[in-house]
Structures are given as structure tokens and as C-alpha cells.
Structure 1
Amino acid sequence: MDENQNLTVAERIRNKFDNLTRAERQLANAMLEDYPVSGLGSITDVAEASGVSTPTVARMARKMGFSGFPQMQAQLRTELKATISNPIAKHELWAQNVPDTHILNRFADSVMENMRQTLRQINPEDFNAVVSLLSDMDREIHVVGGRITRSMADNFFTHMQVMRSGVTLVAPNSNTWAHYVLNMKEGDVLVAFDIRRYEHDILRLAEVAKSRGVKLILFTDQWGSPAAKLSAYSLNCRIEVPSAWDSLVVTLFLVEAIIAAVQTNTWEETKSRMKTLEELFDQTKMFKKFI
């Protein structure tokens, strides 16, 4: 089976980036800047917008495993359609030619493949850089999620708040976000979660935060939120499963891996905060004691 068969164009570009020529890298960066829309014009338009020649565009398409630019562009159109799919459309797509196996098996197979594909794409150096930013006590951390990803933001915030001070969970109602931005300082970190049908408010918050010198760490999907162009680091997780809904299993895995790494980096402070927190739990009798 072709190893590229299930990869998005963006994933193929990231995999091959180190093997591209200087002109091809220029084209790749331009395509990822406004992905996937940047690749939907004519080959001449794409070349001119990227400042390269049309042969460069055609050559890079072949390096990505396509027969040529038209096939790559067809893939980009398919991806664009996927990023704006609503739950009904997603269900209809998965319902076609459903194999005669139990949903538990189909779902598990999809999640495991999502995990494999995501791990192939994650750059360990980027992962370490994200952990380093989040472990820096001189930086305030601000966390925001969208309609579906709010649970991820809340989970991430709860653990980070135990490990270190200076962590804020941005409220879900965007009409209050200006108040949160007011407290953001240059060098702070905004951790945002945004998967397809990408939310305008997340993009606007990222734009305003970046204008204040805030670094964006973005958890997104395999296609990439529009906010990715503003991010210091984008962590792309596979989300498609046989369901009308997208899966956050791999995103949660990555969140928990980062939490574990930050905990290791900050253990002395984390240990002290955990001890104090346990004392507070005892004082408030929050948890049942069996002895």
C-alpha cells in the first residue's frame, strides 16, 4: 500500500520538507500559510503567489507522491470539503459501504490508525519546545477551547494549574475575551484548541494575542486550523472516525503526554503545590476517607 495514501497534502509536505530544494521550500511554506486555499488556484497563480516557477510547482507535486499538480489540487479540494463538513455529512460519508464488523472494532481501528499517523507527524523537537515554554515560570499561560474542544482546554488547564501558578482558563463566551487579553503580556503563551469547522473567534483571539507578543501553541487536526499560520507550534492530531462526530482521543493523548513532560520539568514546584492542595482537600473534606 502507498504510504502516502491516507495523508493530507500538508502531512506529505511536512514529511518531505527536509528533502525539498530552496524554491520548493518557499512554495511549501506559502502553501501551508493559508492551507488548503493557497493551492486551489491555477498552477500559474500558485507559482506567482509563492514567488516560484510553474515547473517548481509541478515538480513538488510529484515529490509529494502525486502524478502532477492537477491530482494534488484535487486532493486539496477534497480536504477543503472535509474541513467544512457538518456532522450529518460526516455520518453519510462513513455510512457508505460500512464493513460487516462491530462498531467497537471499526472505531478502535480508526483510533489506532489516527494515533499511528499522528505520531509519525509529531516532531519531537517541537514537542520538547512546547514543553519548555509551558515549564517556564516567567510566562503566564492562557488556555482556550472551542465548542467541542472546550473539554480539552478544561482538562489541560486543571492539570497545569496544579503544577504551576500563572495559568488562566479563558471563558467560553467570546464577548469577554478582551478582558482576558488585557492581562496578556509579551512572552506569555496562549494554548488554543481548534478543530474543523474552525471557529472565527479562536482565529481573532490568536490574532490579537500575537499582536501583543504572545506565543500561540495550537492543538488542531490533520488539515490545520486557520490559526496555524499565527502559531509558534501547531500540534496536528488525526480526528476522523466512523461517526458523525470527530474524535479527540489522540488530542487527549498528546495533552496528557505534554502534561507528564511538564510535570517532570517542574517536579519540585509541582510536588510542593500538590502537597498544599492535598492539605486543602483534607480541610474541606472534599474526598471520602476510608480510614
Structure 2
Amino acid sequence: MISDKIQQELENLTRAERQLAHSILDNYPASGLGPLSALAKSAKVSVPTVARMVQKLGFKGYPEFQAELREELKAKVKNPIAKHDTWAEGAPSEHMLNQFTDAVIDNIRLTLGQIEPRLFDEACALVAASNTHLYVVGGRITHTLAEYLFLHLQTIRPKITHIQSTSNAWPHYLLDVQKGDVFVIFDMRRYENNTLKLAEIAHAKGAKIVLFTDQWRSPIDALADITFSNRIEVPSAWDSAATTLLLIETMISAIQNLSWNETKDRMEELEELFDRTKLFRKFN
């Protein structure tokens, strides 16, 4: 993806090229779909600066750069039926087990290759901070990932709320949001307007946002303090959650270790409650 190439090249760019790069990323990919002169004007750089940076990214010229952007835009808005048709046309003959697993492994490798350990640690520290309230939000499909994270973090730390972003009641949750509170938001392609509006209000109230999104990046990326772009494409009509789940489980483990003494006390108390309610069978 062009956005990945830009991120990788940032340190090698001149000041003007970095200004251009950030301008492109701020409204990606639409920012690069107009004329070259319009992009230069919006970024407040010269036309030669645009041409030079495009070549640094590995393109022969601006038309080739735009052609790849348009392909990314098409992929970004695909619905499940269109995605399945695209995959089926070129499906290899190997068994689906191997085919799907290879795709997931590639997704994991590419995703982890772009994550800075320092940013991951910062995100874990934000999510672990029990002096602030934590809100976890998912969408129509990703609410399952949000709930998975919520159930584990509920054991690890206090002051946590799972907001059902598709519910008409979600504005009520924002009444008590304070500056410095943390939102973990899941928003994958076919990005949901409801989730964006929630993020905008939370951001306006001074909350920090940790975003889990895909390689094309949700519009919420512009508001997020930390974004994790997950590769999600697999040979299926649906996107894969495997890479995102890997990051979630790694985050849970890291946060648990950050506050193990408090976590251990909470887990022991929870086990006592389970025993009293006889939720689980005992084999003594």
C-alpha cells in the first residue's frame, strides 16, 4: 500500500517532502486522486517536490502513483459479494485450509512488520491506566472483538465500559466522558458513520483514542492517538479478524503483566464469586 510506503520512507524525505507526505496521509487516499498541481497546492509545496517524492516511493510518475491509489480505493469500498467474486476468479487449486492459512500468515507478518514496539507499549499503558475510565467500542461485526477485549480487561482493571456503537443509546455513555479517558475503537472497512460520530464526540471531549482498523484506515485514524492497521484480506467473502485478534490477545497479556498484583487480586475475587454462584462445574 502507498500509505505504508510513505510511512516507511518518512525519515528519508526532505522537509518539504515530509510536509507533502503528511498532507497525503491526512486525507488518504482521496488526497492523491486529483491533478498533480492541486496536490502540490493543498500541501503548500512545489510541483517538482510532488514528482520527486512519487519517484522516491518507487513510481515512474504521477499517473502510475494515481493508478495504484485508485485500485486501493476500489478495494476499500468492496462489499462481501464483490470481494468473493474477485477472489474466486483467481483461486488456486490448493486446499482451502492451506490457502486460507497462508493468507492469514502473510497478514500477520505484514502487520507486525509495521508496528513500532514503542507505540504498542504506549497503547498498552493507556489501556491499563486504571485512574482513567476505559471505553471499548466495536461495530456491526467488530463488536465481537470489542466484547472479547472487554471481558478480559474487566477482570484486569476497574472503570471499564463496553459501548454498543450500533445502539441508539450510545450517546448516553458519552455524558460522563472526561478529558484523558481512553477509547479503544474497532472500525474496519465499510466504516460505520455511527462509530465515526462517536469518536468525534469523544475526541472533542478530550478523550484519547486507540484505533484498530484495516490497511486502508478508518476515517477515525485522523482522530486517533495510536492506530493499528491490520491486514485483513483472505480468500473469503468476509475479512479476517485473525491478525486483529492476535494483537488483542497480545495487548491483554501485556496489560495483565503491567499490573499483575492488582490483576491477581481481582482474579482471585472473581473466582470466589464464580464458586459462590456455581457457574462452573467442579471436579474434586
| TM interval, short-chain normalised | over 0.9
After superposition, give the CA deviation of every residue in 1:14-53 in whole Å (9 maximum; x if it has no partner). Answer: 1111111111111111111111111111111111111111
Counterpart residue number, 2:78: 85
Partner of 1:269: 262
Are positions 1:104 and 2:97 aligned together? yes
Aligned ranges 1:85-234 → 2 under 5 Å: 85-234=78-227
Deviation of 1:172 (Å): 3.9
How far does the alpha carbon of each residue in 1:74-102 deviate from its partner, in whole angstroms, 9 at most, with x for none? 11111111111000000011111211111
> For residue 134 of structure 1, what is the amino acid of its counterpart?
V
Instruction: State the aligned residue count.
Output: 284
Partner of 2:34: 41
Task: Kindly indicate whether residue 272 of structure 2 is the aligned counterpart of residue 279 of structure 1.
Answer: yes
Q: Choose 32-41 or 277-286, whichever is displaced more.
A: 32-41
In 1, Cα distance between the equivalents of 2:164 and 2:144? Answer: 12
Equivalent position of 2:47 in the other structure: 54
Is the 2:140–2:166 Cα contact (8 Å) retained in structure 1?
no
Instruction: Identify the match of residue 72 of structure 1 among 30, 47, 65.
Output: 65
The DSSP-based 3-state class of the residue aligned with 2:184 is strand
CA distance in 2, matches of 1:155, 1:18: 37
Tell me, what secondary structure is at the counterpart of 1:121?
coil
Does the 8 A contact of 1:174 with 1:201 survive in 2? no
Coordinate RMSD, CA, aligned: 0.9
Instruction: After superposition, give the CA deviation of every residue in 1:151-196 in whole Å (9 maximum; x if it has no partner).
Output: 1100011111100001100024342121011121100011100010
Structure 1 regions of 5+ residues with no counterpart? 1-7
Contact 1:91/1:244 (CA < 8 Å) preserved in 2?
yes
Say yes or no: does 1:18 pair with 2:11. Answer: yes
Distance in 1 of aligned mates of 2:153 and 2:21: 35
Are 2:189 and 2:214, in contact at CA under 8 Å, matched by a contact in 1?
Answer: yes
SS for the counterpart of 1:143 is strand
Q: Write the distance in 2 (CA, Å) between the matches of 1:46 and 1:15.
A: 21
**SS class of match (2:31):** helix
Specify the SS of the correspondent of 2:169.
Answer: helix
Contact 1:94–1:242, Cα closer than 8 Å, also in 2: yes
- The CA distance in 1 between the partners of 2:11 and 2:196, in whole Å, is 29
Q: Is the 8 A contact 1:114 1:240 kept in 2?
A: yes
How many Å apart are 1:64 and its aligned residue? Answer: 1.3
Q: What residue identity is the alignment partner of 1:40?
A: L
TM-score by length of 1: 0.96
SS of residue paired to 1:122: coil
**2:188–2:217 contact (8 Å) kept in structure 1:** yes
User: Which range moved further: 204-213 or 26-35?
Assistant: 26-35
**Aligned with 1:144: secondary structure?**
strand
State the distance in 2 between where 1:282 and 1:73 align. Answer: 61
Contact (CA 8 Å) 2:232, 2:240: kept in 1 or not? yes
Q: Could you tell me how far apart the structure 2 residues matched to 1:43 and 1:174 are?
A: 43
1:30 to 23, 27, 32: 23
